[in-house]
Structure 1
């Protein structure tokens, strides 16, 4: 079965309604390692209800439709689909609690050719239903590894940000917790790949892997810490391209380059010397 381009590009993804609480936004921060120093006054507002603030990257997880490609007859070989890129654009600071609606649409499908897969881009606009404020836009790119050469338009996606060719301005290392994936999945991504050792082994991994968005959130928080002094209003956007999985318990090295009101970054797994996220970019206000 091959991709039905016309059906996929015009597919209707139902709106997603979600209500999150103060407890949920606190849990998100804890799940990506914020609050390891419980006396740091800069971090406390993200993990304590007093003067509570919300991490910008929480927006990247909100009002998700789940793995909709698995449930819709588009011809996509969903078993071979992987998360390739993730971009978040923040229009308003995220409130500690809110009721939301996420409006989704597929914006691009690019045929990379036989054996090279296809890129599927979908966009999610998230609104606060009480105020009608547009909180954020999430643009997610999926690589359908088994679907190249289906006959769709070749096209070309915008190139990723170019990482500066020089030594980084800042280097941040943070060891992830051994139970990091078990914590992060409580944000709503209950894929057993991140919790069940049997499922992980069948997928070719020695153990359950960490969610890509957890690694993305940890990297953005390193920028928030070292570049923005934990001023969450300073973050306008976050982008990253996923290149390798991370195992819970591994140490992440985030290298940061500051140029022209932006912070470029990469994430390397220290123990294995592999790059988990490349071409990362945080837009600053």
Structure 2
């Protein structure tokens, strides 16, 4: 250990989180969908109206697969209480997200979340901690989703020998290892525009990190103004893939991987580029105004749409 006052990885990886319960309703599903831009271009778009309205009642609205990322958010505030983990929560950044959808999400449910520390790595000037959250339908006990969240803790690294930095992971396979953005022209391109209050709307789904709402906190973190939540950008991207590749059927999505490359400012236009490769769709999202890649990853499907 390089510094006894710094992070203690033995304590960190041994930590056990308490199980948590997350109860949501159709209203939460609809607010989330609006937060990730559903119906933002066209309020009567039949591909997206189903996420916020159903003629036979709200209990029949469809749930976007990325809604499941809200279950994993419950683990992030608990990081402050992990023994041996020292970091400034204002400097926390989302690195990667991996999601498995084991069963289409119901429009209302009581969820039991079991969270574990799945990885911890010393990167010198920063540390990376990985959380795995398995979410079960409380009534039936069925596994609905699995989320793996990789968090970049700036200033928390340097606690181990730099010639042999500490690393721990219980992931059998790194979901990012086989992903590469193709050099060819994308099969489909979808442009959408975030709104200036997009982060303020998305935060109503439960991510109240002031980095996305407080101008002073944003400046401390090195940004000119509050930035959009990375998981909000991911919601925009997966919506685009469902619309363009899945022909509007969210139940085709099997798993999702996202690498957060660069921040997005609310109000910027997002261009999602898509490359189907068998049952996998490689994607990249760019902020149009800056022509910079902000997000990349892949979506695995259960099947292909008949028209592809």
Same fold flag (TM > 0.5): yes
For the 8 Å contact 2:15–2:83, the answer to whether it is kept is: no
Q: How far, CA to CA, are the matches of 1:42 and 1:171 in structure 2?
A: 17
Q: How far, CA to CA, are the matches of 2:66 and 2:282 in structure 1?
A: 16
Matched with 1:69 is 79
Q: For the aligned residues, what is the CA RMSD?
A: 1.7
Q: Deviations over 1:201-223 (max 9, x none)?
A: 23222221111100011001110
Matched with 1:38 is 43
Asked whether 1:98 is paired with 2:109, we answer yes
Asked whether 1:234 is paired with 2:252, we answer yes
| TM superposition shift of 1:135 | 0.5
Runs of 4 or more above 6 Å deviation: none
Matched with 1:136 is 145
| TM superposition shift of 1:107 | 1.2
1:198 to 1:119, Cα distance in 2 relative to 1, 3 A: closer
| TM superposition shift of 1:155 | 5.8
| TM superposition shift of 1:167 | 1.6
Q: How far, CA to CA, are the matches of 2:245 and 2:262 in structure 1?
A: 25
Q: How far, CA to CA, are the matches of 2:88 and 2:96 in structure 1?
A: 17
Matched with 1:120 is 129
Select 1:283's aligned residue among 297, 300, 307: 300
| Aligned-partner SS, 2:46 | coil
Question: Where do residues 55-204 of structure 1 align in structure 2 (5 Å cutoff)?
Answer: 55-62=64-71, 64-79=74-89, 80-112=91-123, 114-115=124-125, 117-151=126-160, 153-154=166-167, 158=174, 159-160=176-177, 161-204=179-222
Q: How far, CA to CA, are the matches of 2:183 and 2:23 in structure 1?
A: 43
Matched with 1:12 is 16
For the 8 Å contact 1:76–1:144, the answer to whether it is kept is: no
For the 8 Å contact 2:13–2:117, the answer to whether it is kept is: yes
Q: How far, CA to CA, are the matches of 1:214 and 1:191 in structure 2?
A: 13
Q: TM-score, normalised by structure 2?
A: 0.86
For the 8 Å contact 1:69–1:76, the answer to whether it is kept is: no
